[in-house]
Every structure is written in structure tokens, then in C-alpha cells.
Structure 1
Amino acid sequence: MTVALRPPEEVMRLDRMGCFHQSRLSFMRMLLRRLKAEDWTFDRPVFEIAADGTGRAVYSAHGPDRSYSLVAFSHDLPPEARSDRVIATAWDATFTLFDGVPDAEDLARLGANVPLQEAGRITDRELTLSRANRSVRLFDHVVDALSRGIQPDPVRIDAVGYLMRTTAVYGSGKFGAADRARIADRPECAAPFQVEMLTVWLIRAFVLDQVEAMAQARAPDRAVALDPELRRRFGIGNSTGLGMAPFLVHHPVLLDRWITARETALARVLEQAAPPDRIAAFIAARDAAARNVAAWRTDHPVQAAKLDGLRADMERLVAQPVTGWAALWEWGRTALSLEGQELLVSLLLEPWPELVDGLGATMCAEEDARFAIDGRMALDDLRGALCAVHGIEGCDGPARVWFTSADKLEPRLGEPDPALDPHAQPLATRRDAAALLAAMEGRTGDVAGFLLDHPEHRHTVRRVQIALRHPYAEIRDDLASTAMLPADMLRAKLSFFGAGRFDPRSDRWVRIEMFRGAPFPHEMADAGAEPWAGLPA
């Protein structure tokens, strides 16, 4: 039996993409599997944290060929200066991932620049730049409890899930950091976003060490360390806004590689029999997911309604007998909501590492080599491709415009205004396709001749030709429609990172948890072959 991949017109709709969940192919899990398989070691050569939490620290990760170091700076931030917005100029902590192990001269340079973030100057020895703010009430509660010799309240921990949340993790050349090309040929960096995920994982270690150090300084004779099981219940939070959404549009080939890997993994699993040991592994993952869904909280009305449906889905899934993967999947396609269906995709992959994990190597792309336009293509063929990809039958009602903000050069979404035209971004892909189709009305010939007369349509022609070769490259919705929810784009990308417990604060920004339940660097030597399933109870 050969199972066909789900068609892009089904998968690449935002209502479904906004229901994706982390899986074995998420980048956080790829990172921890590699660190474990290659026996990476970790140390903390610098840890200078004062009683008030200020200071600096260095966490180094040593692999087979090279080392990387998180350099952390913790600050005394007045409450009125604390903000998760991109326009903030001060943070509770700032970080960079250094290529190698920094010496005293490096630390002095970084100490003068990293706390300033984009206002500072970093070099190509730095791979990422990041900052984070405390979840103040939980942070203070944990320090206070440990200093009194007791463990913090698990209910309060689970209600928040993290002591700090990052508000940005910049890489790939931004603000002077190393370009992606500088590290792309390193095996440990080949998969997408590996240095960013390593940064966040090491930040988590720093934050938990920081609260323990603060408690110890406050009460040296009485303070205790966090219980290891309780410690692992802390993740790292993240606040992510509209600036992340255009990534999926700007990187169509990469998006195709991610979705293709996920759909291929699903198809491979559906071809398999269901022996008892694999069913047991599925049930364990399913039950952990059910506990996680039960603990997931949000106040956003759209996500709250989806969560209610997902909880009902999990009750149905737990009650459903597991006799075969294909039968379970066919049942789920009609019995479950989109949230439930996409969680079922992730759960079906869990028992099959030998079928799934290797696909991680296919999830990168050298996109520049695939962006050349084929000028020989007949316009009739281009028309057919446009209609196949976008189903041009008019667009979804009134339009908004994507533009770049003047202050931070960040993507924004607003109402049409001639003043925004110089700052507009080419993200209204379906409307651009409709405009191209209209411009071709009555014309014959080839693409090259058409673009000589209409060069303004080059980017749309390129996208359509890419989608012919890479079927999951294009989101099949109107990205400028007033009905479009940017949070769905954020959810899709963050699921591939490995994020969980999505909590939209509006339709344009979301809070998430990362690495909740994962081992810490000092625990990796004793971790299992799959160090973290990403589905903490």
C-alpha cells in the first residue's frame, strides 16, 4: 500500500495551519536528540550573579568539532521599564550565543554591547542576540520559597509555566550577527534554527540557576535548591508578534520542505502495521497529550473555543480503540476538529523514530538557487498554474496592507492608505495573483515577453513557478483579507520550532512555552535516547 500525501489545498489553509502542534520533526526536539546522540558536554565557566540577580554568566556546549557559549547579562530593571514590545529599550536579561568560548576581552566587548541589543554592536562571532523579561510574580515567589527552605507552589508554576519569556531571538545576520551562510555547512547547524533553539535551551538553564543563586544569597543557611522534577516543569516563555508572520511567505521553498517532511512522515506511518509495542508508545504519547491539553489555558476567545473542541476530541480519541494507523486516521478525519486532527498527526509520528527522524535532514533549503524565472513558460500554462495554486475567483472581501514600520523596520498590518505605499510588502499573494491574471487578459506568448512589458509582476510569476515545483510552498488563503488571522501564521511556524500551549493575546501576537519538561544541560548524560517528547504532563 502506498499512501498519498495530503493535497496542499487541504493542508495549506490557515484554519488548519493554525492548529499545528509540535512533533518529532520540531526543531527543539531535533536539537536535543543530536546533543544526546553526539555526547555533547556542558559547563558553566562564568557565573557571577549578585544577591539581586544582576551579573553575568557563560554556559558552554562542547560538541565533536566545536563549542558554543551562551553569554548572559542580568540587569536591575525598574518595573515601569519592563515591556514585551519590540520598541522596548531595556530588559531583565540579555543574551548572545557566542561561536566558541569567550575570553576576558570578548566578555568585556559583549558586556558593553549585548545589553543594548540592536543599539549595540556585535560581530560575526555572535550567532544570536536575545532578550527576556521576568514573569515577576512567579519569579519572586520561587526565590522567596527557596530562600525559606521550601519548594514553590506547583499550582502556581503550572499556571504560568516559566520564570522568564524571551521577546526576541535574533539570528541569521540580524544586527551584525553571523550570516546563516557562515554556519550552514556545520552538521549541528544544518537543520533550521538550531542555534536559536540552543540559545533558548541554555537561557532556561541560566534562569533556573539564577533563582537558586538569589535564594542562596538571601538565606545561605536555610535556602534549598529546586526539586529536580519540579525544576523541569519550568520552560521558557516567549512573546511573538506580527514580525514573525511574513517568514512563511518570504521563504516558500523552506516552508515546502517543512510541510513535505511532516506529510511524508504521516504517509509512512499510515502504511505500517500496528504491533503491540507501537500501540503502547502511541497510547503513552496520547495520554501525555491529553494531560497537557487539560492544563492548557488561554483567555483569547478564538483559541478558547478551539481548546474546548480539542478537549472533547481528546476524550473521543482516548475512547477510540487503536487497531491500525490508517483506520485511526480515517476515523479522526471525520470525528475530530482541525485541532484534534493535527494533534493526531503529531501523535501518530511518536512511535516511529526510524521512519520520521531522518526526515529532519530534508527540512533545510538553499532557496536562492530555486528563484530563477523560467521565461520560456507559455502564458496559457502560467494561467493554469495561477488558478491551480490560488483558485482565482476573486479575493476574500476588503483588503488590508502589509507594510514596514519606520521605527523598527518590523512588519505591520494596517488599513489601505496611500501613505503606506512606499512601505508596502509583497505579502498579499492571492491579490497579486489576481492582478497578474488580469494583466495577462488577452495576451499570448511566453513569460519573458510578458514581463518585458509588466516587470511589476516578476515576484508573482516567480512564486507561482516555485509552487509548481514545491506544492506546499504557498499558503492557499488571502493574506490581506480582513478575515485573515495572523496568529494562525505564527502558530504554524512556532509548531515547527516545538512550542506549546499557544496563548494568543490578540490576533497579532501570542505567548508560548518552550522546552517545558525538557532535561537541563547537566542532566543530558542520563537522559534517554529521546530526551524530550515535548508533551509534559
Structure 2
Amino acid sequence: MDCASLNPMPEAAAFRRPPSEVMRLARMGSAHPTRLSFLRNLLRRVIEEGWTFDRPVWEIDATGVGRAVYRATGPDRTYSLVAFAHDLPDEMRSDRVIATAWDATFALFDGEPTSADLDRLQANVPLQEAGRVSPLELTLSRANRSVRLFGHVIERLAKGLQPDMAEVEAVGYLMRTTAVYGSGKFGAADRAAIADRPELSAPFQAEMLSVWLTRQFTVDIAEHLAFVRGGAAAVRLDSAIKKGLGVGNSTGLGMAPFLVRHPVLLNNWMMAREEALARVRSQDGASAEAVAGFRTALGEARENAELWQSSHPIQIEKLAALRDDLSSLADRISTWPERNSQKPWDALWHWGETALSLEGQEALIALMLEPNGDLVDGLADCMTADEGASFRLDGAMTVATLSASLRDHYDWVLGIDFDQPENVARFWYVSEEKLEPRLGNRFEEDGASLEQPLCIARLAQDLHSALAAWPGDVALAAFLLAHPEHRFMARRVQILHRYPYAEVQDNLIAEQMLPIDLMRCKLAFFGASRFDPRSDKWVRISLFQGLPYPSDMSPEGWP
């Protein structure tokens, strides 16, 4: 289903927030994971379809080196995470993309690997970018141990003790991934090869499955090493402590441009979430079950906010506001919903718009969706996109029509003065060494001649000026024949005509622009929690924290 043609509930259409409100960086940079997030979508599917999980291969030695296979069996297909554990000296452990060695490396295999497949992968997967995988592999990834927590957990379990909860809560994961590659990178299967599979058709399902199985590996290898060290005295992780551990992730600037480069996909993600919120707000009442679910979700959100730590000044301020907001929300719902009140969810939302910060308002969205799965979960099916079909340029459109559409959808652009240095201070480019997106300072660094077309606001203003010199009844094709440099932006204007949430409505080359706002928005759709920026270009998060493990769904128990 295409979200652009999504037929909203008629009564909900009036409650949808406009793009001018939703698509601003400050709000996008306050996004929270919801039940529509991709990892939640994966977990719903594997539970509803009765997938089974096991570990048919565990060839890890006493030093923690070797290989393992985690098998996920669904109704139609089987997928296998092939994991390689390494002995990495502390001085070689790095979160940077230029690292060349890791504590563990992984590939998600399409089917069940043979011994020959495992040997082939063992020769390539530990090399990551320097190796090559095949179309039988869906993802390629790597992870490093948390130096602080991994050793502590092994030491305590080996002695028959559980880890210190203060240590567990301070970190929240045993290992963190530093890259999860898919969609054809380094020889892996292209997205088009798997897009028609129901279990992988939604965005990033192969990547989410890979990370979820990796989470199981992080616990398994820690327990393995604890038993090697402690023998009969060693114990396994307590189930409650284990549930509180996610998979960490360290993500850099390479993620930020994705939302700009995939406008239709961005629209569909945003529209699905906005339609979900509108459906909840439009309800005439709030059932006792939904109210109870909301209160439970709020309690969990308050607990998470207390455990959520950051050393970044901006995020520290946001966290303080969030904790205050959730406390205010708890006070507000003590008498909510009022007896005989009409549209209580909408009333609660309107209260939040005036009483809460952006951080609190976006958290409120997640809380309102949580107990209303019957209304909103189906929208996860319309979060993908056929971008090839959407990007076809309509040359028959007149200059007047395109100009009018540009004024309607890019009105926020027309007042920006690009002669002011602060409005053109940044430029996006691709590094020669790693072919990764980077952000430069136009007035201090070389490379602006290699600028990528992510300066959408400036490109839109340039197109607006160029169109003004042409008669309105001329076909766009004639204009673009004379000015091919505007093809890229003309196509985006046409896209926005059909996909209203396709554009970030901020200047992405401004001096004060924060790339972490783009990153947080995308990560929230993944389902990431504990967003912890280390700069405006680098962030750590946690995935699957508080959620079940594959071993929880194994009818035969776990090794």
C-alpha cells in the first residue's frame, strides 16, 4: 500500500498535523519510537506468525573466538545470522567507521548455510568492507563490546552472582554495532531482490532481524565466557536483567542524509505516523482498557527517562524537559478522561501542545499510540515506497503549475537570504576514503566544489527565480531543456505535490543546523531508545531494550 494514496478514516483527516508543523528539524529531532517503529513491526510479525528460533552451530572456544549460527524459521523461509567472534585487543576497539577490527562480525544469510558457506563467510565477513559477500547475504555488520559492562558481567556471572544493576542501567547493552549494511552493499542482496517477500517488504526488516539475533549472541557469548571462567559456580543472567539489555549502536553522520535522499519513503513514514495519531485523536471515547494501557506506557516512559543519560548539553536539556513533561502528564491524567468528555484523546493532545516541550509532545504521540494498536498497527504496511515510479518527471506540466506548487509547498524557503554567510555555512560531500557522507564548513574547508545536492532550500529558491523569467504556459520540458541544472529540484517539487511530508522544511546548510536531528528522526522510526549524542554528528542509541529475545520464542528451550 502506498501511503500517498492511503485512504484515511474520514473522521480522522481533520486531525492530521500539517507538514509545516511536523517537518521541522527541531520537532524531528525530538522524535520518539512508537509501536509503528520497524523493530516493533518485526516482533509483531514473528509472534503472530509463530516463527521459531534456534542456534544450530556454536563453535566458540574458551577464548571466545569462533563462529555461531542463529536460525530464524518463518512460515515460508528461513534466515540465519552467521556470527564470528574475535579476540580483539582493547587498543584496537573503536566505534569509528575507519576501524579495521571488531569484537564480532555478522552476516544475515538467506536460508541455512552449509559448511562451505560458513567457510566462505569466515574468509570475508571479519574483513567487512575489505571482504566481499554474495547475494545470499542480506546484511553485513559488526559490533564491539562495552568495555565497561561486558567484563563486569562475565566476572560476576563466573562467581555465581548477578551484575550490579547500577552498572547495567548506566550502559544498557553488552555490545554495540558500529555498522549494519544492507541493500546491496559490498555484494549483498539488493533491496529489489527481497522487497516482494511479505516478511521483508516493510522498511529495514532484514536489518532489524540481524540486530535482534545479534542481541541474542551478545548474551550467549557473555554467558559462555562466564562458564569458561567459573565452571560449575557460574550462573546465567537473570531474566529481568537480561530483558533490560539492548543492542547498542554507534552511528555517525553517514545516516543523516538518508531522509533527504529518499523523499517518498520519508513521506510514507511520516504520513503513517501522522495518520495513526489522527485516528487516535478522532475517537469519541477512550475505553477503560486503552486508558489503563496509556497509564502503563506512561509509567514505563518515566522509568526509561530516569535511566536515559547523556553527556551532550542539548540532550541534557531535553532530558530535563522530558522528565518534567512526563511528571506533568502524570498529574494531568489523574482525572482524565473526564466523565462524558467528547474526544478525550484529542483534548489530551491539545493540552500537550500548550503544556509540554517539543520533546514531551513527541513522547506523548508514542504514548497515545501504544494502547491503540487495533487502530494503528495496519499502517505499518504502507511505510515502504516504489521510489522509481515516484521519481518520473512530468515534462508536460506547465511552468505556471510548477511555480504555483513551489510557492505552495516551499513557502518556507522564499524568505531565506542566501547572501548571508550563516545561511550557507555548511556543505555536504562524500568522503573519498570511505565513500561516506560528510559535512564541511564552506568558509574554512576545501571541497565545496564537490557539494552534494542536499541544500534543498537553496535549490528551491534558485528554481523559483529561474521559473519567474519564463512564460507560464510553456511546458516544463522546454524550460528544463534550457536549464537542465534544475531537473533535480523540479522533480522534488512534483514529488511534494503528491507526497506532502516528503521534505524537511529547514535549511540543511545553515550554520545552526544540527545533523543529529535528522539522525534521531530516522533512528526513532527504527525503534531506537536512549538517544545519546556525543557531538552534533555522532550518536549512541540502544535497540530492542526491554523487549523479548529470540530464545524467549524457542519451544525447545535454549542451549
If the length of structure 1 is used for normalisation, what is the TM-score?
A: 0.96
1:378 pairs with 2:378: no
1:10-89 equivalence runs, <5 A: 10-89=21-100
Partner of residue 416, structure 2: 394
Aligned counterpart in structure 2 of residue 325 of structure 1, from 345, 353, 357? 345
CA distance in 2, matches of 1:332, 1:496: 22
Q: 1:378: how far off?
A: 2.1
Deviations 1:384-429 (A, max 9, x none): 2222222211256233110000000000000227952453211010
1:57-456 equivalence runs, <5 A: 57-272=68-283, 273-321=285-333, 322-323=336-337, 324-391=344-411, 392-395=414-417, 397-416=423-442, 420-421=447-448, 423-444=450-471, 445-456=474-485
CA distance in 2, matches of 1:479, 1:524: 44
Deviations 1:23-70 (A, max 9, x none): 010000000110000000011011112222111110000000110000
Deviations 1:79-112 (A, max 9, x none): 1211111111111110000000111000000000
**Amino acid of the structure 1 residue aligned with 2:368:** L
CA distance in 1, matches of 2:425, 2:400: 28
SS of the residue corresponding to residue 303 of structure 1 reads: helix
SS of the residue corresponding to residue 389 of structure 2 reads: helix
CA distance in 2, matches of 1:99, 1:151: 37
Partner of residue 519, structure 2: 490
Q: 1:229: how far off?
A: 1.1
User: CA contact under 8 A between 2:271 and 2:501: conserved in structure 1?
Assistant: yes
CA distance in 1, matches of 2:133, 2:450: 27
Q: 1:253: how far off?
A: 0.4
CA distance in 2, matches of 1:275, 1:127: 43
SS of the residue corresponding to residue 168 of structure 1 reads: strand
Q: Unpaired segments of 5 or more residues in structure 2?
A: 1-10, 338-343
User: CA contact under 8 A between 1:389 and 1:474: conserved in structure 2?
Assistant: no
CA distance in 2, matches of 1:215, 1:306: 38
**Amino acid of the structure 1 residue aligned with 2:514:** L
CA distance in 1, matches of 2:448, 2:356: 43
Partner of residue 506, structure 2: 477
CA distance in 1, matches of 2:215, 2:351: 39
Deviations 1:238-296 (A, max 9, x none): 00111001110111000000000000001111111112121111111111111111111
Number of equivalent positions: 526
User: CA contact under 8 A between 1:36 and 1:525: conserved in structure 2?
Assistant: no
Q: Unpaired segments of 5 or more residues in structure 1?
A: 527-537
Q: 1:6: how far off?
A: 0.5
**Amino acid of the structure 2 residue aligned with 1:394:** I
**Amino acid of the structure 1 residue aligned with 2:312:** H
Partner of residue 534, structure 2: 505
**Amino acid of the structure 1 residue aligned with 2:465:** A
**Amino acid of the structure 2 residue aligned with 1:134:** R
User: CA contact under 8 A between 2:265 and 2:387: conserved in structure 1?
Assistant: yes
User: CA contact under 8 A between 2:15 and 2:282: conserved in structure 1?
Assistant: no
User: CA contact under 8 A between 1:55 and 1:73: conserved in structure 2?
Assistant: yes
CA distance in 2, matches of 1:419, 1:517: 45
Q: 1:498: how far off?
A: 0.3
**Amino acid of the structure 2 residue aligned with 1:335:** A
SS of the residue corresponding to residue 279 of structure 2 reads: helix
Identity of aligned residues (%): 58
User: CA contact under 8 A between 1:42 and 1:60: conserved in structure 2?
Assistant: yes
Q: Which runs of 4+ in 1 moved over 4 A?
A: none
Q: 1:443: how far off?
A: 1.4
User: CA contact under 8 A between 1:162 and 1:235: conserved in structure 2?
Assistant: yes
CA distance in 1, matches of 2:409, 2:434: 33
CA distance in 1, matches of 2:478, 2:15: 38
Deviations 1:119-175 (A, max 9, x none): 001000000000011111210000000111111111100000001110000000011
